[in-house]
Amino acid sequence: MSGRGARRALLGLAYFLASGVALAFLVLPVLAIFVHVSPGKLIDQLSNPVVTDALIVSLKTTVLAQALILLFGTPTAYLLASRRFPGRSLCVTLVELPLVLPPAVAGIGLLAAFGRFGLLGSTLGWFGIGLPFTQAAVTVAVAFVASPLYVRQAIAAFEAVDPNLVAASRTLGVGPARTFFRVVLPLARGGLIAGEALAFARGLGEFGATIMFAGSLEKVTQTLPLAIYAQFEVNFDVTLAISALLILISAALLISLKLASQWQPSTPTSHSRFGLLSWS
Amino acid sequence: MAALHADFALPLRSFELELALEVEGTVALVGPSGAGKTSVLRAIAGLVRPPRGRIALGDDVWLDSRRAVCRKPDERRVGLVFQEYALFPHLTVRQNVAYSGHGRADEFLERFRISHLADARPTALSGGERQRVALARALARGPGTILLDEPLSALDAHTKGTVRAELQELLSELALPTILVTHDFEDAAALVDQVGVLVDGRLRQFATTSELVDRPADAFVASFTGANLLRGQARRLDDDTTAVELTTGELIYSTERGEGSVGVVVYPWEVSIGRLQHEDSAMNLIRGEIRSVVAVGNRVRVRIGPITAEVTASSAEKLELGRGGIAFATFKATGTRLVPLA
Amino acid sequence: MKRILVPLVVALAMATTAAAAPRVSGITVYAASSLTDVFPRIDPGPKYSFGASSTLAAQITQGAPADVFASANTTIPDQLFAKGLVQKPVVFTRNRLVLVVPTSNPAGIQSVYDLRKPGTKLVIAATAVPVGSYTLQVLKQMGLTASVLRNVVSRESDVRSVLSKVALGEADAGFVYSTDAKTVPGKVQVIKVPAWAQPKLTYAMAIVASSSNKAAAQRYISEILSKAGQAKMLAAGFLALPKKKTG
């Protein structure tokens, strides 16, 4: 083999080797969990009240948090995507902030805001509303850390919609709200779903802010990740089972969201980088 | 039939757009890119809001800055066809046409001969088909005025001819005040009654196409209509004619008045070609090397030095015109127009 | 001769004590959270990892590279010893459980019995954590298990988290060691747990079986057990070992 051929073969080998290593690295920890816990043990543990309680708390809080994120995050993202106003980039940065905060810091921030002596917390206290240590606190913590993931994607998805399409809809006699539902939303769907997938995954795995702000109590605030942490020193089998459960839920989530976005592919229709028109 | 009245000022990026139009028939808005033509259409449609002005369709006032009236785009009965058509990619052709909800989608699909495409997606259509869908969609709304942004520019040369003819028929049939933005003089000539030339936000000329050819207001209008534009220095002569010394050196004469830096406007079909030099005091003469010979249909465009002439194919053959040879371009002083140079 | 003898002896004594200043390096010590402040004061040499004794034990079981393991109870070291993961544990100090409330005392707690008040936000450690198990023992002794556990709002993963929640004012009360309460003066009020209700609260430590530096580990343990070490522990608020020194 000529020198050049040998070099090419070597590069090719390195290329595939590197990819192989990367894939193995990502797959191994996940695979290892399932190697350690047999399907029989897993199903067994599903009847363990620690696991079922944690599952219920996780699902309730995550679903509620995601609903809030979609309800408040979508109009926020649309506003930031479609209008240019002084201070807009500041707003976008603020929305992204929780993303770069270490979860523990987020937890402390939430305490500082909503804790008993917190900025808003003390006012809430007068009305007899106390947030820390409640299931509502878990929802708040999850919403706080997960919303930037959704909002950022949503902004990008809305910005990718051709402003001429929105203009066309208006000139055809359709008002701004109906235009949003008939044109913008369907076209931005793919990006919104992707963003929601990220937010959901982040919310499900949330730990640091939750344990700081909401504490950990079975049936009330102990989510699946918190249960893993609590069970780690008590019963390693349960820890593995909960971990396997979380993996299965996350995988199911990822697959169903991929299917949902495949169903009606949303292709970017705009060539312009900047968003929708500044009128409404 | 109601007339479209648009009279407003709108600040754009580097200048202010200011114009007043009264449109009863079909009007073309032409001009260099960036002149504000598309902004005019957007202002009339309500997509941008001029700070000053009045826009109305008959008695229906859409904008009146003095009385703080500003109708939203969905409240104005406009049919706006975008340059890239802006068809909804996630809807079928039928859904696009039916979008405005007036329930006559099938009728319009028929009328524009796109019924067979009813269930197709816009991305699967050709340029000409998309244009028809865009038109059908805009008209299905029952608009009171039609605004077309470069309706033919996205089409290839072959489709253009057919589509232009169809559009011409459609516009005369509809008889609605229509504004058509284009950068092509021939399209304008075929489709509209009057042409407004918009340069740097101002209307330089507003006239019929033949007036534009006969009496172009300035260099831009002249070059837009396809004329030769030669530059030179003019001075008045005693017999009331003007002598112009071209930058290329020749001396030519015009019966029009001009002084100082001028543009000389001569249309290619007004220029004759000869292989031999004739001495004729009534003719302007330019001697030059034959730069190019291009057949356009049954005519031939020949570039001789700085000037382009257009002759019949048979004439070109007889003269044995070929690149590199020497030829003489002649044109009458009476047909030589002068325009001020900016 | 006598004139230089006394200063010489004093100098020698000082020199030996200075030379004998504890600094065992090259070992890793896994110790209970409540030892966070006092152990480094006794010997700043080793690498320390502080956490709930139960968490540390789990990590050691998974193969964490510790040389010495110091737990807030005897149960956990004994369990590890039974599994052959550590050598025979030795007790090295004792502690007391106390109830802490924020300085502002929002719930008006004056005694452990007040914890029965409905709406009280009580934070304790998880049962697997030594201080959590001690708490349950205290409540059982005082016959308060059902009535007080009702008010638990969170089971924390280690004693310092319990302390923080109380110090921040988020919780109305929490059970920690008396030594922990001393680390945040002015932030918490200490309420005594009756002596008769106190559990046997003994700390034990052991050399980890997989340690590659057992000699140094042993030196470290001796340091903690030495007079100087024990004096520092007492100064931090830990209790002296009973006269019988058995492991």
pLDDT tens-place string over residues B230-282: 889 999 888 888 889 988 888 888 888 888 888 888 888 888 888 877 766 66
Q: Are residues C119 and C174 in the same domain?
A: yes
Residues C221 and C157 in one domain: no
Provide the whole-model pTM: 0.79
- What's the average model confidence in pLDDT over A51-71? 94
What integer pLDDT is reported at residue C1 of this predicted model? 58
Q: Tokens 């006699």 map to which residue?
A: A173
B76 touches chain A (CB under 8 A): yes
The confidence score (pLDDT) of residue B64 equals: 93
Across the interface, whether the CB atoms of C170 and A111 are under 8 A apart is answered yes
Give the model's confidence band at B226: pLDDT under 50 very low, under 70 low, under 90 confident, else very high. confident
Class of A40-263 per CATH? Answer: mainly alpha
Q: How confident is the model at residue A270 (pLDDT cuts 50, 70, 90)?
A: very low
Predicted local confidence at residue C7, as pLDDT: 67
Q: Where are the domains of chain B?
A: 4-77+144-214, 228-340
Work out whether strand B78-81 and strand C122-125 pair parallel, antiparallel, or are unpaired. unpaired
| pLDDT for residue A269 is more than 60 | no
* pLDDT reported for residue A271: 43
The SS3 of residue B274 is strand
Question: Does residue A170 belong to the interface with chain B, where contact is any CB pair within 8 Å?
Answer: yes
Is the pLDDT at B313 greater than 60? The verdict is yes
Chain A hits for B76, Cβ within 8 Å: 171
| Beta-ladder partners of C31 | C50, C70
Q: What is the DSSP string of chain C?
A: -HHHHHHHHHHHHHHHHHHT-----S-EEEEEGGGTTHHHHH---SEEEEE-HHHHHHHHHTT---SEEEESSSHHHHHHHHTTSB---EEEEE--EEEEEETT-TT---SGGGGGSTT--EEEE-TTSHHHHHHHHHHHHTT-HHHHHTTEEEEESSHHHHHHHHHTTSSSEEEEEHHHHHTSTTTEEEEEPPGGG----EEEEEEBTT-S-HHHHHHHHHHHHSHHHHHHHHHTTPBPPPSS---
Same domain, C156 and C171: yes
Mark yes or no for CB contact A279/B82 under 8 Å: no
pLDDT of residue A73: 95
Q: Do A174 and B78 touch (CB under 8 A)?
A: no
* Structure tokens given for B127: 């340029």
Sort residue C78 into left (φ over 0), alpha (ψ -120 to 50) or beta: alpha
Out of A165, A187, A279, the one facing B86 most closely (by C-beta) is A165
Which chain A residues are within 8 Å of B84, Cβ to Cβ? Answer: 164
Question: Do C206 and C85 reside in the same domain of the chain?
Answer: yes
Report the pLDDT value the prediction gives residue C178, as an integer from 0 to 100: 93
pLDDT at B270: 87
Higher pLDDT: A257 or B19? It is: B19
Q: Which of B81, B88, B91 is nearest to B44 (CA)?
A: B81
- Reported as a pLDDT band with limits 50, 70 and 90, residue B327 is confident
pLDDT of residue C185: 86
Same domain, C136 and C59: no
CB within 8 Å: C153 and A216: no
d(CA A278, CA A163): 10
Residue A173 is nearest to which of B48, B89, B141, comparing CB atoms? B141
CATH topology of domain B4-77+144-214: Rossmann fold (3.40.50)
Q: For A136-145, what is each residue's pLDDT tens digit?
A: 999 999 999 9
Confidence at B325, pLDDT banded by 50, 70, 90? confident
- The reply to whether A264 touches chain B by the CB within 8 Å rule is yes
Q: How many domains does chain C have?
A: 2
Q: What is the pLDDT of residue A272?
A: 41
B145: closest chain A residue by CA = A171
A168 at the B interface (CB within 8 A)? yes
Q: Which fold has domain B228-340?
A: OB fold (Dihydrolipoamide Acetyltransferase, E2P) (2.40.50)
Q: Angle CA(B316)–CA(B319)–CA(B320) in degrees, nearest 5?
A: 85
User: Over 80: is that where the pLDDT of C14 sits?
Assistant: no
The residue type found at C212 is: S
Q: Bridge-partner residues for B205, per DSSP? A: B197
pLDDT-derived band at A279 (thresholds 50, 70, 90) equals very low
Residue B243 and residue B254: Cα distance in Å, rounded? 7
**Cross-chain residue pair A267–B141, CB shorter than 8 Å:** no
Confidence of residue A43 (pLDDT cuts 50, 70, 90): confident
Q: Does B54 touch chain A (CB under 8 A)?
A: no
Instruction: Count interface pairs A-B at CB distance under 8 A.
Output: 64
Same domain as C140, residue C107: yes
Assigned token pair, B257: 């008045």
Residue C22: band (very low, low, confident or very high) from pLDDT cuts 50, 70, 90: low
Look at residue C182 and tell me if it is in a domain. yes
What is the reported pLDDT for C104?
92
CB proximity list for C166: less than 8 A, separation 6 or greater: C100, C101, C102, C123, C173, C174, C176, C188
Which pLDDT belongs to residue C11?
61
Q: Are residues C192 and C71 in the same domain?
A: no
User: What does the pLDDT look like over B207-224, one tens digit per residue?
Assistant: 988 888 888 888 888 888
**Domain-embedded: residue C8:** no
**What is the reported pLDDT for C10?**
62
**Which of residues 173 through 232 in chain A touch B, CB cutoff 8 A?**
173-175, 182-183, 186-187
Q: Widest CA span of chain B, in angstroms?
A: 73
pLDDT of residue C227: 93
| A4 class by beta-carbon count within 10 Å (0-12 exposed, 13-18 middle, 19+ buried) | exposed
CB contact under 8 A, A168 and B45: no
Question: Hey, where are the domains in chain A?
Answer: 1-36, 40-263
Residue A275: what pLDDT? 40
Share of chain A above pLDDT 70, in %: 93
CA distances from C137 to C91, C99, C140, C141 (A): 20, 14, 5, 6
Provide the shortest C-alpha distance from residue C117 to chain A (in Å): 17
Q: What is the mean pLDDT of chain B?
A: 87
Domain CATH code at residue C78: 3.40.190.10
User: Are residue C139 and residue C171 in the same domain, yes or no?
Assistant: yes
Instruction: Please name the residues between 112 and 171 in chain B that touch chain A, using a CB distance below 8 Å.
Output: 137-138, 141
Q: Which residue among C58, C154, C168 sits closest to A216, beta carbon to beta carbon?
A: C154
The 10s digit of each residue's pLDDT in B12-64 is 888 889 989 899 999 999 888 777 889 999 999 999 999 999 999 999 999 99
Q: Are chains B and C in touch, 3+ Cβ pairs below 8 Å?
A: no
Which pLDDT score is estimated for C205? 96
Instruction: Assess whether C114 and C38 both reside in one domain.
Output: no
Q: Do C171 and A133 lie within an 8 Å CB cutoff?
A: yes
Q: What interface predicted TM-score (ipTM) does this complex get?
A: 0.80
Chain B touching partners, 3 or more CB pairs below 8 A: A
Question: What percent of chain A is modeled with pLDDT above 90?
Answer: 50
CB pair distance less than 8 Å for C153 and A215? yes
- Tokens for C113, please give them: 């019995």
Q: Is B269 helix (H, G, I), strand (E, B) or coil?
A: helix
Do the Cβ atoms of A236 and C155 come within 8 Å?
no
Span A97-139, pLDDT tens digits: 888 889 989 999 999 999 888 888 888 888 878 888 889 999 9
Q: Give yes or no for a contact between B324 and B290, defined as CB atoms under 8 angstroms apart.
A: yes
For B174, residues 6+ apart whose C-beta sits below 8 A from its C-beta are B139, B146
Ranges A1-5, A28-32, A144-148, most confident:
A144-148
Contacts of A230 in chain C (CB under 8 A): 126, 128, 155, 157
Contact B141 A168 (CB under 8 A): no
Closest CA to B273 of B229, B308, B234: B308
Of B47, B74, B99, the CB nearest to A277: B47
Mean pLDDT, residues B183-187 = 83
**Shortest alpha-carbon distance between residue C54 and chain A (Å):** 6
Regarding whether C136 and C85 lie in a shared domain, the answer is no
Are C122 and C80 in a shared domain? no
Q: How far is A237 from chain C (nearest CA, A)?
A: 13
Per the CB < 8 Å rule, is C170 touching A133?
yes
Q: Are residues C89 and C101 in the same domain?
A: no
Instruction: Tell me the residue range of the domain where C117 lies.
Output: 97-197
CB B291 within 8 Å of CB B305 = yes
CB distance A215–C58 less than 8 Å? no
pLDDT tier, A59 (very low <50, low <70, confident <90, very high otherwise) = very high
Contact between A212 and A111 under an 8 Å Cβ cutoff? The reply is yes
Query: Token match 């939203």: residue?
Result: B72
* Separation of alpha carbons B305 and B260, rounded Å: 23
Best mutation target among A57, A108, A111, A133 (most C Cβ atoms within 10 Å) is A133
B90 touches chain A (CB under 8 A): yes
Q: How far apart are the C-alpha atoms of B328 and B289, rounded to whole Å?
A: 9
Average pLDDT value for residue range A219-228: 92
| pLDDT, tens digit (0-9, with 9 covering 90-100), for C56-98 | 999 999 889 999 999 999 999 999 999 999 999 999 999 999 9
Q: From the CB of residue A119, how many other CB atoms can be counted at a distance below 10 Å?
A: 10
Residue C66 lies in a domain: yes
Residue A176 has a pLDDT of 93
